Amino acid sequence: MRLGIIGLPNSGKTTVFNALTGSSYPTEPFSSGQLEIHTAVVNVPDARVDKLSEVFKPKKTTYATVQYTDIGGLDKGIGEGGLSGPMRNELQQVDGFVHVVRAFADDAVPHPYDAVDPRRDLEIIDNEFLLLDLIAVENRLARLEEERKKGKIDNKQQHAAETALMERLHAHLSDERPLRDLDLTPAELKSLRGYGLLTLKPVLVVFNTDEAGEDPAAGLDYDHRKTLMLSLRGRLEAEIAQLDNPEDVALFLEEYAIAEPSRDRVIHLSYELLDIISFLTYGEDEVRAWPLRKGGTAVDAAGTIHSDLARGFIRAEVIAFEDFIAAGASVAEVKARGKMRLEGRDYIVRDGDMIVVRFAI
């Protein structure tokens, strides 16, 4: 799971990246306009994993992870000017975006467009991505039409279906609406994977503010699918992320009247944004959270652990984490209460399911 952190120059992208990852990359007050890439993998905080680790005392504890990539170099006009190959590759390879929008005033860090205006800044990159997708769709339609005129069509039915789909995309984009708002079937989405369409990707909008007052998202008309929004005091959160001592963190939070760091919430929302859940495996060797696409089955979960488990799948022993806690965090008591279930390959895994796969090869 990889999310690209994007935003206009001086929006605080790298500050937010540092806050999320505990990195300490310099945050220059002015962007060079060149492609700059920083990448880090972070654990998804999970109190369930903490509890299982406490109970089983395993040799190893492994959390689910999210990879963040800080992508510098975006600005107004990239749609018309076109993207460099490396920039296009970075944007197309991520699974979604964390769009950092500036909502703080700082004379030492001038805004590239003079005044702070979160609504305008949000629209700038949105519109650039809309234009880039529109150009990509128009280019594909032109090639399809050329193939039709030259009679170079191997599969007429497939050609007609793709042409109709591209025309739908073109009409939607022409209305200045992102493709993630368009009703598309799983088969259509699969057929579009190779195009790297940017407005099709889910977006977490993070308003970077130093103020504890009004939420910049309040009253903002931004009702899109696969879109989440929240505010983050980026500079403070980045400072917290550099602290190693829990007591220092507690003092810092108390001084600035912060109930809890927003970093964990952003990471959880990043995970949620991609329609991912976690199932858990446990034992003396390892306690682990495994990511699984929402709607995934027991055999999908088995394959996530190891392909051999999916190939030889017999059934899965499943315990709901809540039932485990209610039974005093005892697997034996869960069994005594009849709360351990044996599920087949088509069982839809739920978030927090504790799973042991029975298999034979």
DSSP E strands in the chain: the ranges are 2-6, 36-43, 60-62, 65-72, 96-102, 203-208, 227-232, 276-281, 286-293, 313-320, 341-343, 353-359
Tokens of 302: 């088995």
SS3 of residue 251 by DSSP: helix
What would the pLDDT profile of 242-282 be if each residue is shown by its tens digit?
A: 887 888 888 887 887 777 778 888 999 998 899 999 999 99
pLDDT for position 211: 63
- Partners of 204 in the beta sheet? 98, 228
Taking every pair of Cα atoms in the chain, the longest distance, rounded to a whole number of angstroms, is 72
Measure the CA–CA gap between 23 and 13, rounded to whole angstroms. Answer: 12
DSSP code, position 258: -
> Which three-class secondary structure state does DSSP give residue 64?
coil
Task: State what percent of residues in the chain have pLDDT above 70.
Answer: 97
User: 20: closest CA among 229, 207, 238, 250?
Assistant: 238
pLDDT in tens, 103-123: 988 888 888 888 889 999 999
Say if residue 129 is exposed, middle or buried (CB neighbours under 10 Å; 0-12, 13-18, 19+): buried
Segment 26-77, tens digit of pLDDT: 776 555 556 778 999 999 999 999 999 999 999 999 999 999 999 987 888 8
Residues in contact with 181: Cβ distance below 8 Å, sequence separation at least 6, in sequence order: 172, 224, 225
Give me the residue label for tokens 């109709």.
164
CB 349 within 8 A of CB 296: yes
Q: Give the model's pLDDT for residue 35.
A: 74
Which domains are assigned to the chain?
A: 295-359 (3.10.20.30)
User: What are the tens digits of pLDDT across the range 334-359?
Assistant: 999 999 999 999 999 999 999 999 99
